[in-house]
Amino acid sequence: MSESEARPSNFIRQIIDADLASGKHTSVHTRFPPEPNGYLHIGHAKSICLNFGIAQDYQGQCNLRFDDTNPEKEDIEYVESIKNDVNWLGFKWDGEICYSSDYFDKLYGFAIELINKGLAYIDELSPEQMREYRGTLTEPGKHSPYRDRSVEENLELFEKMKNGEVEEGKMCLRAKIDMASPFMVMRDPVLYRVRFATHHQTGDKWCIYPMYDFTHCISDALEGITHSICTLEFMDNRRLYDWVLENITIDCQPHQYEFSRLNLEYTVMSKRKLNQLVTEKLVDGWDDPRMPTISGLRRRGFTSASIREFCKRIGVTKQDNTIEMSSLESCIRDDLNENAPRAMAVLDPIKVVIENFDADVEMLEVANHPNKPEMGSRQVPFTRELYIEAEDFREEANKKYKRLVLGKEVRLRGAYVIKAERIEKDEAGNVTTIYCTYDNETLGQNPTDGRKVKGVIHWVSADAGVPAEIRLYDRLFTVPNPGAADDFVSVINPESLTVMNGFVEPSLVEAEAEQAYQFERMGYFCADNKDSSKEKLVFNRTVGLRDTWAKIAD
């Protein structure tokens, strides 16, 4: 990550400053604890930037810890994708990767300790009965009939659970706290349940698995985490976090701090909904460029720097809000406008024949960036037959139209001024070929007789241009808050992907995966990191040159 990226300030950093100043802590140790049950999304990027960024700025440590307590939904594919995402975003975890499963033996021991202290019991209520006994937000819960079992009986039954002698759903271990608590999370929460599932790290060693709330706080304590940072929906869980640590024999007592999660317009952030999009094949996998996943954004052409900048701009607060998609797009435009080389591509081609051009080919030197000579230049072949965008020609037009008009002139980017002399049409009346002449005195300069040529259009040689599949990605949903719809699938944007078959200048044959370009006048594009090859070029539109959705909204 660039050292020039400004260090942000927020309420969590102010807490850390105070803790260091008071001597409460002498160093900072954070962690990023994803569940390996899906790919990370832009909301996780905010947490990554926060936790790793704090450790980096305070010369502390940040662990990458997989909260792997639910083997039925977890997969090693997700583990690998998360590691790749953290690295790609520009961060490095300290030490070895941690897994909650590393602590299963110790977690089991702490559960035994709670049973021995009379603070945990084996319950045989069914899940439905347990919900009924739990009460409501306005009514207290009722004690389970199994709540007052003896320590000896609880130990014996817990051992049976561990040994695989109990069916799934028949028994669980619950904390004995307060069924009348105003906080539902404190009404005798489940600590362990039976699951006959092979774990991606521990295999078949265990058939009982600890719950998140029991595991998370103990994992933090075992790793010496000083500041345990999570999102606001875990605010009430902090009471259970503290209760567990206060009632077991453990030295470290981390404190949990909550911040608002990222909500982004025109997306869903629920892993369940994202998984539904993938499993129902409504998108092309977790890394579909329309997905808000980090791998999807990367495939679409977002840079790690632009995502870090976005996370810095939106800040860290306790106030829930929804960020406009234009804020994210602004970050990538700013990045690519500065750093992406220029190239020419024609997405919807129409042929131009320059009748007075006699050479086979003329190689023109074109700058790679209009404001950065240090980015060099490239050779672009200019030939008698070219392609231009179909929308860049009209038979008749008013003065506001600054492109090619029959009988008038326009400049070709980096090349000559041409004039449309006549056209050919097909049987349906569509223009198929535009016959032009060019002024060979206008390469790099205005016409010598003082003619004013205002319009500039891009082009590609019809002889040397390379066929390419151009994927025009747009927002996946038609409404700003698809999660609020009765059926979020019903508001998927049917035009979220348009595939064009166009032509690109030959230099783009060498485009590397994820390499960004500004296609002159068309937007920012990158070579697809899965499907593009020298044999078949595929480019994804990252973002347009300007925000067209703002105009639609107006």
Percent of the chain with pLDDT over 90: 95
Residue 320 binned pLDDT confidence (cut-offs 50, 70, 90): confident
Q: Which amino acid is at 49?
A: C
> What number is the average pLDDT over the span 240-258?
96
Q: How many residues does the chain have?
A: 554
pLDDT digits (tens, 9 = 90+) for 187-237: 999 999 999 999 999 999 999 999 999 999 999 999 999 999 999 999 999
CA distance linking residue 264 with residue 496, whole number of Å: 17
Residue 553 binned pLDDT confidence (cut-offs 50, 70, 90): very low
Q: How many CA atoms lie within 13 A of 488 on its CB side?
A: 19
Does the annotation mark 261 as catalytic?
Answer: yes
pLDDT digits (tens, 9 = 90+) for 424-461: 999 999 999 999 999 999 999 999 888 899 899 999 99
Given this model, what pLDDT does residue 359 score? 93
Taking Cα atoms as reference points, which of 552, 522, 551 lies closest to residue 540?
522
Was 321 annotated as part of a binding site?
A: no
Was 188 annotated as part of a binding site?
A: no
Q: How many CA atoms lie within 13 A of 550 on its CB side?
A: 10
Determine which one of 5, 35, 113, 324 is catalytic.
35
Determine which one of 162, 261, 351, 413 is catalytic.
261
Was 37 annotated as part of a binding site?
A: yes
Was 135 annotated as part of a binding site?
A: no
Was 186 annotated as part of a binding site?
A: no
Tokens 């919807």: give the residue. 348
Does the annotation mark 300 as catalytic?
Answer: no
| Three-state secondary-structure class, residue 335 | helix
What residues have CB less than 8 Å from 152, skipping those under 6 apart?
Answer: none
Give the residue, 532 or 1, on which the prediction is more confident. 532
Given this model, what pLDDT does residue 3 score? 46
Taking Cα atoms as reference points, which of 281, 320, 295, 270 lies closest to residue 482?
270
| Three-state secondary-structure class, residue 367 | strand
Was 46 annotated as part of a binding site?
A: yes
| Cβ atoms of residues 142 and 135 within 8 Å | yes
Was 231 annotated as part of a binding site?
A: yes
| Cβ atoms of residues 220 and 228 within 8 Å | yes
| Residue 31: pLDDT over 90 | yes
- Ramachandran angles phi, psi of 335, nearest 5°: -65, -50
Residue 25 DSSP one-character state: -
Given this model, what pLDDT does residue 4 score? 45
What residues have CB less than 8 Å from 461, skipping those under 6 apart?
Answer: 361, 380, 381, 382, 383, 385, 386, 387, 505, 506
| Three-state secondary-structure class, residue 41 | strand
- For the chain, give percent helix, strand, coil, nearest 5: 30, 25, 45
Mean pLDDT across the chain = 95
| The two structure tokens encoding residue 138 | 């306005």
CA distances from 342 to 7, 333, 489 (A): 31, 14, 37
Domains of the chain: 104-211 (3.90.800.10), 262-344+466-554 (2.40.240.10), 348-458 (2.40.240.10)
Determine which one of 134, 149, 238, 271 is catalytic.
271
| Residue 316: pLDDT over 70 | yes
| Cβ atoms of residues 330 and 264 within 8 Å | no
| The two structure tokens encoding residue 392 | 């860049």
Was 181 annotated as part of a binding site?
A: no
Was 452 annotated as part of a binding site?
A: no
Given this model, what pLDDT does residue 554 score? 37
| The two structure tokens encoding residue 372 | 């950065």
> What number is the average pLDDT over the span 30-53?
97
CA distances from 290 to 112, 264, 305, 515 (A): 47, 13, 19, 18
Was 202 annotated as part of a binding site?
A: no
| Residue 7: pLDDT over 70 | no
Was 41 annotated as part of a binding site?
A: yes
- Ramachandran angles phi, psi of 244, nearest 5°: -60, -50
